[in-house]
Amino acid sequence: MRWALLIMLMWIGNVFAVEGIEEETCVGAECEKNALPSASSSQMQEKRENDIRRGNVLKAHQTIVINVVGEGVAPANTSSPAQAYALAKRAAIVDAYRLIAEKVRGVTVQGEDVVKNMTVQRSLVRTSVSAVIRNATIVETTFRDGLCEVEMEIRLSYDALSR
């Protein structure tokens, strides 16, 4: 099994742009990263229109609070405990942003199985999320046994988003 995580973060003021977070799981021979096509912009637009029709849209004077806990592990090859803490905390913050993006925007899941002679030769599942996260706040940070946990929350309100 192979896991790949691609994270691109751009820090602009207090805005985190989280793009192209994808997780890929491969089983079997010759798993290719680009084996599955990505969701097109027309599919994304269609999803937005369906959400509007179903009423899955934040309404005026409504506030939603989303809480997540991101986790990060300190790498073994750090030069000091302070560096291990900083790297684990950064990984936990990135994980928390990803979790918020998944809750706000949803996750795109694509899968493919190749079967030959009634045996799975290759199984590929790819998940991805893309979102811009603003004004998320860190509520609490804990570090224990090389694991850093960051509790983060974001308040979504129609009034703040419509500015």
Residue 47 lies in a domain: no
**For the segment 104-136, what is each residue's pLDDT rounded down to a tens digit?**
888 999 999 999 999 999 999 999 999 989 889
Please indicate whether residue 69 or residue 29 has the higher confidence score (pLDDT): 69
Whether 47 has a pLDDT exceeding 80, the answer reads no
Residue 107 covered by a domain: yes
> Considering the domain boundaries, does residue 46 fall inside one?
no
Cβ neighbours of residue 133 closer than 8 Å, sequence gap 6 or more: 15, 16, 17, 18, 97, 100, 101, 104, 154
Considering the chain, what is the average pLDDT of its residues?
A: 75
Domain that holds residue 7: 2-30+57-161
Do the domain assignments include residue 112? Answer: yes
Judged against a pLDDT cut of 90, whether residue 14 lies above it is answered with no
Size of the chain, expressed as the number of residues it contains: 163
Q: Is residue 120 part of a domain?
A: yes
Domain count, the chain: 1
pLDDT value at residue 151? 97
Residue 127 is assigned to a structural domain of this protein = yes
